Structure 1
């Protein structure tokens, strides 16, 4: 049996062990989570807010810390992080990032966990039914979004705007205490096929969508001081979730930039003001143009660093 086959077997064995550990870890903490969810269903809102929600956040943090410990101490990826050292637990953060893989979520938690309020993502409604994890997201007040196709809306025009109402309703809860709200502007994970289908003008990105982030800004007014814009780069290859489980993660490059949010964005009516809608979309487009350049720069810097550490590679 050659070395390549042995490496494949070893990686898959690590993946199976990791999967078993993840399921066991999730089920163990899931017992405590459901014990906390039951009071959330029946107790008054004030009691839930001051007693139950902190318990749910603590349990979810324990689950997350177990996964991050496994990633960092078993897989030992090489992190190169910049710009995430000015965070605190008492501020509101609006966070966005390029989206390539489920691994992105754990990368963002690596950056923000225990440095800022618990990161909450906009999630597709269908993921509510993922066992334990879906219920945890619900208990943590993650905003679940139901996106309707143009064909469905043509047949059911009364549903138009429901996604906006859900965004605004979710953001009302975020306004009560410091929160970190995450929105992937691309709306889906990057793939070459999607990139070609979109005819994306960017080399490394899909086209950004401004709607979700615009409604979040308008719902939370001036709570956000700035946009935390994370650029995530995986040199070599983009790891899938199974790659992560198998430990096939090498270098992870992350750069976080703080971008001011124009004050008037929170005052207008994005849905009914074409000029404001165009201005916010242009703002998002400029962010994405710069992010595309940043990804290229980070890849080039990493390649030069590898060559500097390996002169024989540079000669080849």
Structure 2
């Protein structure tokens, strides 16, 4: 009986998300069409601001459905000052589909509304794909090693996408989010890539390095965001919606990036590439210790400093 009630709660959360999405699609469509068709920057920029305003309200509605029905307690430890007009790169681990929306929940309005590196396939998702395009999200193709060997030109395709997107972001407040693992971490994926971490996948350094290079000179900081689902080794989005995940801990801190890593030729300079990979791997090792302590159900969770809680 209890599980049936939890499933009903999850279904109601999904219904709420669908209704919120459909409601905000009504003003999103004309604003996106204006941005697509208008040849003048003086028209496109206001259209982008309208799209962003809609996206903020949509994200709030989605999170109200997720947290209102799921009732997860979100403990947010923000160790950086509020700066809604800044330009930031956010590097995060990826545990569950809920990460994407919860990141919006804890960042906005203290920091600029996030833009994500997302998979090319999501471009064709109804409503959401249009919103991502209108918000200038970088759509990444993520070619396999076999595809790159067959066609070496594909190696730089995603990096060109990063450069184009960052050229737009240099002129506006933004939090550019890179889930550095490239996909959600789980035991099967960790085993497949022989991950050295207990809870995380090895981070892909290229996207982060290219973003830092592309934003060099206007960047206000690099932020590290850690997601941990307390006592949940394999968190599932459906379980969050159904109320089976009582606590989610999110920590955000500023990263001190060595100055010699903020600019460099990642593709053409093997020494720079090796140094950047070592730096990111060390950050990931520290993150793995934190997440492991929180997600292991056999331990008493050692929580991060609970400076702020959000529901």
- What is the TM-score when the length of structure 1 is the normalising length? 0.89
In 1, the alpha carbon distance for the partners of 2:8 and 2:203 equals: 38
Q: Secondary structure at the match of 1:115?
A: coil
Question: Cα distance, 1:297 vs. partner?
Answer: 4.3
Counterpart for residue 249 of structure 1: 245
Q: Structure 2 unaligned segments of length 5 or more: list them.
A: 304-311
- Which one scores higher on RCO, CA 8 angstroms, separation ≥ 6? 2
CA contact (8 A) 1:239 1:248 kept: no
Counterpart for residue 284 of structure 1: 280
Deviations 1:63-86 (A, max 9, x none): 111122233433332222212552
Deviations 1:224-273 (A, max 9, x none): 34321111111222432222332333111122221112223233211101
Counterpart for residue 303 of structure 1: 300
Among residues 263, 269, 272, which one is paired with 1:273 in the alignment? 269
Residues 159 and 85 (structure 1), Cα distance of their counterparts in 2 relative to 1, 3 Å cut: closer
Counterpart for residue 168 of structure 1: 163
- 1:36 paired with 2:27, answer no
Among residues 79, 87, 90, which one is paired with 1:92 in the alignment? 87
In 2, the alpha carbon distance for the partners of 1:207 and 1:117 equals: 27
- 1:67 paired with 2:62, answer yes
CA contact (8 A) 1:219 1:266 kept: no
Q: Secondary structure at the match of 2:96?
A: coil
Counterpart for residue 259 of structure 2: 263
Q: Secondary structure at the match of 1:280?
A: helix
Residues 299 and 37 (structure 1), Cα distance of their counterparts in 2 relative to 1, 3 Å cut: closer
In 1, the alpha carbon distance for the partners of 2:92 and 2:224 equals: 6
Counterpart for residue 307 of structure 2: none
Alignment of 1:98-247 (within 5 A): 98-237=93-232, 238-247=234-243
In 2, the alpha carbon distance for the partners of 1:124 and 1:30 equals: 21
Q: Secondary structure at the match of 2:168?
A: helix
Runs of 4+ in 1 over 6 A off after TM superposition: none
Q: Secondary structure at the match of 1:81?
A: strand
Counterpart for residue 3 of structure 1: none
- 1:83 paired with 2:78, answer yes
Q: Secondary structure at the match of 2:30?
A: helix
In 2, the alpha carbon distance for the partners of 1:299 and 1:20 equals: 29
Question: Cα distance, 1:188 vs. partner?
Answer: 1.1
Deviations 1:17-75 (A, max 9, x none): 22222212111111111111111111134124431011101111111111222334333
- What is the TM-score when the length of structure 2 is the normalising length? 0.90
Question: Cα distance, 1:290 vs. partner?
Answer: 0.9
Deviations 1:106-128 (A, max 9, x none): 22112101111110100011110
Question: Cα distance, 1:221 vs. partner?
Answer: 0.5
The structure in which a higher percent of residues are helix is 1
CA contact (8 A) 2:48 2:135 kept: yes
Counterpart for residue 27 of structure 1: 22
More deviation in 214-223 or 7-16? 7-16
